[in-house]
Structure 1
Amino acid sequence: MLNPAVWPEPPFWLLLTGCGLLGLVIGSFLNVVILRLPRMMERDWRAGAREILELEPVDQPAISLSRPGSHCPRCQQAIRARDNVPVLSWLLLRGRCRHCQAGIPVRYPLVEALSAILSVLVAWQFGWTVELLPALVLTWSLIALSGIDLDHQLLPDSITLPLIWLGLLLSLVPVFAPDPQAAIIGAVAGYLSLWSVFHAFRLLTGKEGMGYGDFKLLAALGAWLGWAALPMIILLSALVGAVAGILMILLLGRDRQLPIPFGPYLAGAGWLALLWGDSLTDAYFRLAGLG
């Protein structure tokens, strides 16, 4: 029998292929999370409101991340396994339901493909290391949060709060970064920094510039990446958000009074910091003449 300590490391291409395929499958599940989690939250809010108001409960259709099974929202036909293969089924069906020919939004294969591509990039960066799995979990969570925020301007506590605690717990394991002190400070500083901006903006303008979910997301990123990554995350997200907002106003005619979800920009900046934080920080210092 071979000694496990001297087993050869599996081929790198096997890691990339496996993470890509896993990313496709997870991406399919993320589509379910993006679609159903806000509906589940709304159902619970309505039930809670009726209870507080002492109104009779109303029967609502059961919904969870696993029930009912995948089906066409138009004809209600169940989607068979052969029609539920990530990306490939959408292409073969030309973006339409097999039964009623209703259009299937292109966002579904896009989320699946994005999840696969980002998973491969994470695997490329981390390789066969213990940091790979947590990095994938964070990546997939950020995709789900971005999709929900784009649709509903909402960052659910059921995702952001577990991310905070998971980041803090991982900091207790010596092989992960950052250390517990940097993670705790990062979580606190991440929350308080946007909380301060929120209240300063509200006092100056009388308007609310962002939601509390943004505070919690930045707190989670601070817990995962440490307080030192926060300035870069805030700078990158603000810069990209400002450019995207200006382009939407100029090119798409978007009303400048309409709010723009900030969560996807925070998520994108946090993901970049996860993979290339040190390189980006060094590049910034060189450009600023401080390197």
Structure 2
Amino acid sequence: MYMTLPFLLFYCGFSLALCWHDLRYGLLPDRLTCPLLWLGLLFYLCLMPTGLENAVWGAIAGYLAFALVYWVYRGVRGYEGLGYGDVKFLAALGAWHGWQSLPQLVFMATLIACATLLLRVVIFNHRGVMNNPLPFGPFWLQRVFTVDGKRF
């Protein structure tokens, strides 16, 4: 229990810093996403070696799935529809939570983001919000902390 505490504190700290940075600047910087990824892998390497394979595959799946979305969208539309920081952040979340949780994480975060946009448009009559980029990191984090928090 006491060995996991420093890892979980860093996980929460880096995640909340990423959330704040994404809300404020619309960016998920490498100086926060990459250490979060490596810390997740180190956590499983040091404290739960049986889960290391799952963590590695989670990082790979998270990265490849959203890198594919990033490059296909950019190729079709000619501009980014998703930041590359989001790709790295999903890889980090995959390292911490495993590849099995990624589809549900992405689906639920997308539903929450769509509901938030709908509320902003309908209730507050902010139609211009549809033309602005949406920081997606906070939606992933909201889903992780409310649903997957029980895993730790």
Q: TM range, normalised to the smaller chain?
A: 0.7 to 0.9
With a CA cutoff of 8 Å and minimum separation of 6, indicate the structure with the bigger relative contact order.
Answer: 2
Residue 168 (structure 1) aligns with: 41
Give the counterpart of 1:152 among 3, 18, 25: 25
Q: How many residues align?
A: 150
Give the counterpart of 1:139 among 12, 26, 37: 12
Deviation at 1:172, TM superposition (A): 1.0
- Normalising to structure 2: TM-score of the pair? 0.87
Give the counterpart of 1:229 among 91, 101, 114: 101
Structure 1 gap segments, 5+ residues each: 1-127, 279-291
Summarize deviations over 1:86-130 as a string: whole Å, max 9, x none. Answer: xxxxxxxxxxxxxxxxxxxxxxxxxxxxxxxxxxxxxxxxxx553
- Which structure is higher in helix share? 2
Give the counterpart of 1:199 among 71, 75, 85: 71
2-side partners of 1:154 and 1:169: how far apart?
A: 25
- Normalising to structure 1: TM-score of the pair? 0.48
2-side partners of 1:244 and 1:177: how far apart?
A: 39
| 1:42-191 correspondence to structure 2 within 5 Å | 128-173=1-46, 175-176=47-48, 179-191=51-63
Aligned partners of 1:177 and 1:225 also within 8 Å: no
Give the counterpart of 1:238 among 90, 107, 110: 110
Choose 1 or 2 for highest CA Rg: 1
Deviation at 1:219, TM superposition (A): 0.6
2-side partners of 1:152 and 1:248: how far apart?
A: 20
1-side partners of 2:50 and 2:106: how far apart?
A: 18
2-side partners of 1:272 and 1:177: how far apart?
A: 26
Aligned partners of 1:145 and 1:263 also within 8 Å: yes
Q: Report the RMSD for the aligned CA atoms in angstroms.
A: 2.1
One-letter amino acid matched to 1:249: V
Taking only the aligned residue pairs, the percentage that are identical comes to 37
